[in-house]
Amino acid sequence: MLRHFGHEVVAAVADAPALLAAVAEHRPDVVVTDVRMPPGFSDEGLQAAIALRAADPDLPVLVLSQYVEQTYAAELLDSGRSAGVGYLLKDRIGDVSEFVDALVRVAAGRTVVDPEVVRQLLGRRRDPVQRLTPREREVLSLMAEGRSNTAIARALGVTEAAVAKHIGSLLAKLDLPPDADDHRRVRAVLAYLRG
């Protein structure tokens, strides 16, 4: 599937130790792994991803998971140098072009979080989030998923200026510092949502 979009898959491995070895050998641009891997089928894949990022904080890793549980996402986001991480539900693989797009964004050092996980995070921090207008909440969700202003504007069918305005007002409502660098802003939003 990835080849279809012109990416080269340098290695496909079956378990966590093999993954660590393959990364050491190929120095890939981005690693895609499942949370659950042999031999133990618990969370070896996630642990391997965290170990990889501990060894090389700039290595982009996209973790695919069956679980909305944000505990896993949180651990991943806290690993490495807070750049180039993605946590997506496996369901997203079906939206082939979106998935590949997310992969490219992770490889480019951005943060991507699954909308489903973001929805759950929003559910946890109800009180201040309640004060947002529905439109601001939409913008916040898209922001937390790691999308750029341009992408948010496209998704909502509004101008980029309008998106910037919404972002400014929602950051103010949530007491978050305005930040021109939208990557750092995403991290702030995620950190806020995780409470």
Partner 1 sequence: MPVRNVLDALTMRPTRFLTSSWPWRSLAYLTGGALIGIATICAVVVLLAAGLVLSVVVVGIAGYVATVLSGVAVGRLERWRMRLVDHAELPDPHRSPPAPGLRSWLRCRLREQATWRELGYTMLSALVLCWMDAAVVYAAVFVPTSLLFAPYYLYGETSLWTTVPLALCTPFALAVGAYPVTAWAGARAAMARALLAPRSDDTDAKLVELTRSRARLVDAFEVERRRIERDLHDGAQQRLVALSMQLGLARLELPAGSPAETQVAAAQDLAKEALSELRELIRGVHPKVLTDRGLAAAVGEAAGHAPVPVDLDLRLDRRLPDAVEVTAYFVVVEALANVAKHSEATRAAVSAGLIGERLHLDVRDDGRGGADPDRGTGLVGLADRVAAVDGTVALSSPPGGPTLVHVEIPCAW
Using CB under 8 A as the criterion, which residues of the chain lie in contact with partner 1 when the complex forms?
1, 4, 36, 41-43, 66-72, 90-91, 93-97, 99, 120-121, 123-124, 126-127
Q: How far is the CB of 50 from partner 1 (least distance, A)?
A: 13
Which CB atom, from 114 or from 136, has the smaller least distance to partner 1? Answer: 114
Measured from the CB atom, is 6 or 97 closer to partner 1? Answer: 97
To the nearest whole angstrom, how small is the minimum distance from the Cβ of residue 102 to partner 1?
A: 13
Cα 142 to Cα 55, 111, 115, 117: the distances in Å are 30, 12, 7, 12
Give 58 or 69: the residue with its C-beta nearer to partner 1.
Answer: 69
Please report how close the Cβ of residue 127 comes to partner 1 at its closest, in angstroms: 7
Nearer to partner 1, 65 or 149 (CB): 65
CB of 123 to partner 1, least distance (A): 6
3-state secondary structure the chain: CCHHHCCCCCCCCCCHHHHHHHHHHHCCCCEEEECCCCCCCCCHHHHHHHHHHHHCCCCCEEEEECCCCHHHHHHHHCCCCCCCEEEEEHHHHHCHHHHHHHHHHHHCCCEEECHHHHHHHHHHCHHHHHCCCHHHHHHHHHHHCCCCHHHHHHHHCCCHHHHHHHHHHHHHHCCCCCCCCHHHHHHHHHHHHCC
Give the residue with the Cβ less far from partner 1, 11 or 96: 96
CB of 183 to partner 1, least distance (A): 25
